């Protein structure tokens, strides 16, 4: 019988002696699940031991455990009563790939976006302290997420949170190699020779002391502060912020972590435990290439190879084309917020290191940095996933638009993204951009249109966004107008006009190809601002159905309908867009759920003709 078969809640960990064997079982389970469902493999493998220690010490429900990003919570889910459902992870109606309060009391929040954990924890901590509630609030945050400005806003306010414990999981990786001064600071702590020696001293002492938290505490406390700082090279940052600092601790040594966590449990001040782990631990391929296995689709466990042939994606095209453009234009400057690979910028980074910056998980900074670059004379291009751009709303308005600066946003993952779930869907960028004055936004449906959009953006003096979907292009009709106009009408039918843009234009185009006598089609390329001529011509139609793969409020459809009213449109206007958060499922299931796939479009059209 597996050890896992005897664990139904963290309580059951009390009876388990061979925790290393449990870690091994968890690893095997996680590798198996992710190989079938895809997911965040290397992050999860790295925290198996830390999760066991965490739940062994803080598994009671009176404690609140908050995972930053939450992508590394698979072992946590298995050990908190969700073992039987783990094979449904990231699938429609199955477990989420992040923490999710709808699934379990052990999950305090829905997670997905990085850097918010300390602030969330401080809120819970404040309530607990004021209402004299027992229990600790524990944050689990990676060194990558510590590149988020938001995390420091939290740390800056944490000094009186006496029930707060932060576990800093330092694996020196974000998705790719971590960047910036904080990362260098942590690396200095880790690699310092004194640390290596000290680690052994600490380990020896920890091993000698049978569960005597007090003695360990004394050991740490009684060391002269100066000596301790010298030994650990640490006191400065976290201690000056008001934390009691323990570390660095080997994050794969369950017993060492349990002991230090028990000490932290007794502290009456904020504590930061710095653990050092290996991303991808225990699976050869993930250890060698932790970035490839950070977020991965289905793969063969034996070879580590993807099970699906990788098709060219919009991100690939963007990255390649930007390299072409930069080879002729030294003023092009590309920025990523910790997503070089995902946004297709890895090659650019290698070829044009002086025209590239990975700023860490710092989307707000990235936009304002771009504004500064533009003010200095560069043509900055910030490549960012739609959902992470949400972090930069004020910067778009205050630091770019209000200053009349020209920057370019390359908005990747616009629209549904599938299995990553609610936090990651690219459905809000259009609503956001519709609130930014003087911005131009193109929504290409196909690879060549993406290139033309980028050309237009670079040639113009406008603040421009180009938004494009995850993955590859869909059906591309051969009758498509080769010019990338602001808009194009197709067909003669005056009864039904279908309007759409972006990826789902392909579904509408297929329908038009089959039923060109029954419908006409309007393809929008420039979605912000809307072209008046498109509105004026649309007045001629009796029924307009606007299909939009974006959130409905402040959508292009809403703007279009509003403009039609201004132009005295007398027909029927039917917007079909996303009206809620989007749960994890395949992208095709999501399109279907929100009635934006071929069949749903067809059904809607049939209601009318």
Ligand X SMILES: Cc1ncc(C[n+]2csc(CCOP(=O)(O)OP(=O)(O)O)c2C)c(N)n1
Smallest separation, CB 179 to ligand X (Å)? 11
| Nearest of 369, 361, 385 to residue 173 by alpha carbon | 361
Smallest separation, CB 378 to ligand X (Å)? 23
Smallest separation, CB 342 to ligand X (Å)? 8
Separation CA 361–CA 348 (nearest Å): 19
| Nearest of 527, 461, 534, 520 to residue 492 by alpha carbon | 520
Query: 510 to each of 135, 256, 360, 389, 476, how far by Cα in Å?
Result: 58, 61, 41, 32, 9
At residue 28, the 3 state secondary structure works out as helix
Q: Smaller CB distance to ligand X: residue 396 or 557? A: 396
Q: How many CB atoms lie within 10 A of CB 416?
A: 27
Q: Smaller CB distance to ligand X: residue 338 or 497? A: 338
Smallest separation, CB 575 to ligand X (Å)? 29
Q: Smaller CB distance to ligand X: residue 71 or 252? A: 71
Smallest separation, CB 361 to ligand X (Å)? 5
Whether 250 contacts 256, CB under 8 Å: yes
| Helix, strand, coil tally for the chain in percent (to 5) | 45, 15, 40
| Nearest of 593, 599, 516 to residue 549 by alpha carbon | 593
Q: Smaller CB distance to ligand X: residue 144 or 502? A: 144
Q: Smaller CB distance to ligand X: residue 237 or 452? A: 237
Separation CA 563–CA 545 (nearest Å): 15
Whether 223 contacts 231, CB under 8 Å: yes
Q: Smaller CB distance to ligand X: residue 59 or 115? A: 115
DSSP 86: G
Footprint of ligand X (CB under 6 A): 43, 46, 69, 71-72, 112-114, 142-145, 169, 171, 173-175, 279, 338, 361, 363, 388, 391
Q: Smaller CB distance to ligand X: residue 52 or 263? A: 52
Smallest separation, CB 277 to ligand X (Å)? 8
Smallest separation, CB 392 to ligand X (Å)? 10
Q: What is the DSSP track for 500-561?
A: EEGGGHHHHHHHHHH-TTT-EEEEESEEESPPHHHHHHHTT-SEEEEEEEEESTT-HHHHHH
Q: Is 342 exposed, middle or buried (0-12, 13-18, 19+ CB in 10 A)?
A: buried
Q: Smaller CB distance to ligand X: residue 143 or 597? A: 143
Separation CA 34–CA 287 (nearest Å): 15
Smallest separation, CB 560 to ligand X (Å)? 30
- Catalytic choice (90, 228, 281, 391): 391
The angle at the Cα of 190, spanning 188 to 191, to the nearest 5 degrees, equals 70
Asked if 279 is an active-site residue, the reply is yes
Whether 546 contacts 534, CB under 8 Å: no
Separation CA 137–CA 118 (nearest Å): 10
At residue 162, the 3 state secondary structure works out as coil
| Nearest of 61, 39, 184 to residue 133 by alpha carbon | 61
Q: How many CB atoms lie within 10 A of CB 483?
A: 8
Smallest separation, CB 113 to ligand X (Å)? 4
- Catalytic choice (49, 103, 363, 473): 363
- Catalytic choice (77, 259, 279, 413): 279
Q: Smaller CB distance to ligand X: residue 275 or 361? A: 361
* Residue in this structure with the two tokens 């990786």, named with its chain if needed: 173
Asked if 239 is an active-site residue, the reply is no
Q: Smaller CB distance to ligand X: residue 82 or 278? A: 278
Smallest separation, CB 112 to ligand X (Å)? 6
| Nearest of 99, 106, 229, 90 to residue 583 by alpha carbon | 90
Separation CA 158–CA 125 (nearest Å): 10
Asked if 473 is an active-site residue, the reply is no
Smallest separation, CB 154 to ligand X (Å)? 14
Smallest separation, CB 147 to ligand X (Å)? 8
Cis amide prior to 248 (ω within 30 degrees): yes
Q: Smaller CB distance to ligand X: residue 366 or 605? A: 366
DSSP 71: T
At residue 76, the 3 state secondary structure works out as helix
Rg (CA), the chain: 26
Separation CA 465–CA 454 (nearest Å): 9
Separation CA 536–CA 518 (nearest Å): 21
Whether 381 contacts 373, CB under 8 Å: no
Helix extents (H) in 377-496: 386-389, 393-394, 429-433, 447-459
* Active-site residue list: 279, 363, 391
């Amino acid at each position: 019988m597996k050890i896992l078969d005897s664990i139904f809640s963290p309580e059951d960990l009390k009876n388990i002696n061979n925790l290393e064997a449990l870690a091994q079982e968890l690893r095997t389970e996680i590798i198996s699940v992710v190989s079938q469902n895809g997911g965040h493999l290397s992050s999860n493998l790295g925290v198996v031991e830390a999760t066991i220690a965490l739940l062994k010490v803080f598994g009671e429900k009176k404690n609140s455990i908050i995972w930053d990003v939450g992508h590394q919570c698979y072992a946590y889910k298995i050990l908190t009563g969700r073992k039987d459902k783990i094979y449904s992870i990231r699938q429609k109606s199955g477990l989420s790939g992040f923490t999710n309060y709808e699934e379990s009391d052990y999950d305090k929040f829905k997670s997905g976006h990085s850097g918010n954990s300390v602030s969330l924890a401080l809120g819970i901590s404040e309530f607990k302290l004021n209402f004299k509630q027992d229990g600790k609030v524990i944050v689990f945050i990676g060194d990558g997420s510590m590149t988020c400005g938001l995390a420091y806003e939290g740390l800056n306010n944490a000094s009186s949170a006496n029930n707060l414990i932060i576990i800093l999981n330092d694996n020196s990786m974000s998705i790719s190699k971590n960047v910036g001064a904080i990362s260098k600071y942590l690396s200095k702590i880790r690699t310092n020779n004194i640390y290596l020696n000290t680690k052994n001293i600490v380990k020896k002492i920890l091993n000698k002391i049978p569960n005597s938290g007090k003695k360990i505490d004394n050991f740490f406390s009684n060391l002269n502060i100066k000596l301790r700082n010298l030994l650990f090279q640490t006191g400065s940052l976290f201690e000056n912020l008001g934390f009691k600092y323990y570390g660095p601790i080997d994050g794969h040594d369950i017993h060492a972590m349990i002991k230090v966590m028990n000490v932290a449990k007794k502290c009456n001040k904020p504590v930061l435990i710095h653990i050092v782990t290996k991303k991808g631990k225990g699976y050869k391929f993930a250890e060698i290439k932790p970035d490839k296995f950070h977020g991965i689709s289905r793969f063969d466990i034996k070879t580590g190879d993807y099970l699906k042939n990788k098709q060219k994606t919009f991100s690939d095209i963007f990255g390649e084309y930007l390299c072409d453009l930069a080879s002729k234009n030294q003023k092009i400057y590309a920025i990523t917020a910790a997503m070089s690979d995902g946004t297709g910028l890895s090659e650019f980074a290698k070829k044009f290191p002086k025209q590239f910056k990975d700023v860490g998980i710092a989307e707000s900074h990235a936009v304002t940095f771009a504004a500064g670059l533009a003010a200095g004379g560069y043509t900055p291009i910030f490549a960012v996933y739609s959902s992470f751009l949400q972090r930069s709303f004020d910067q778009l308005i205050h630091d770019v638009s209000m200053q009349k600066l020209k920057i370019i946003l390359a908005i990747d993952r616009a629209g549904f993204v599938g299995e990553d779930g609610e936090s990651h869907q690219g459905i809000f960028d259009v609503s956001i951009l519709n609130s930014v004055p003087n911005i131009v936004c193109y929504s290409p449906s196909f690879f060549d249109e993406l290139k033309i959009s980028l050309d237009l953006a670079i040639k113009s003096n406008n603040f421009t966004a180009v938004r494009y979907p995850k993955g590859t292009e869909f059906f591309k009709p051969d009758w498509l107008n080769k010019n990338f106009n602001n808009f194009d009408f197709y067909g003669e039918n005056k009864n039904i006009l279908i309007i759409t843009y972006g990826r789902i234009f392909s579904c509408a185009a297929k329908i038009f190809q089959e039923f060109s006598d029954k419908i006409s089609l309007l393809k929008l390329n420039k979605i912000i601002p809307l072209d008046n001529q498109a509105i004026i011509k649309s007045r001629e139609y009796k029924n307009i159905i606007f299909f939009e793969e974006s959130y409905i409020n402040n959508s292009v459809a809403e703007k279009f309908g509003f403009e039609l009213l201004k132009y005295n449109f007398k027909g029927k206007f039917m917007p079909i867009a996303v009206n809620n958060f989007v749960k994890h499922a395949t992208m095709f299931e999501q399109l279907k759920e929100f009635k934006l796939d071929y069949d749903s479009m067809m059904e809607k059209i049939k209601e009318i003709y």
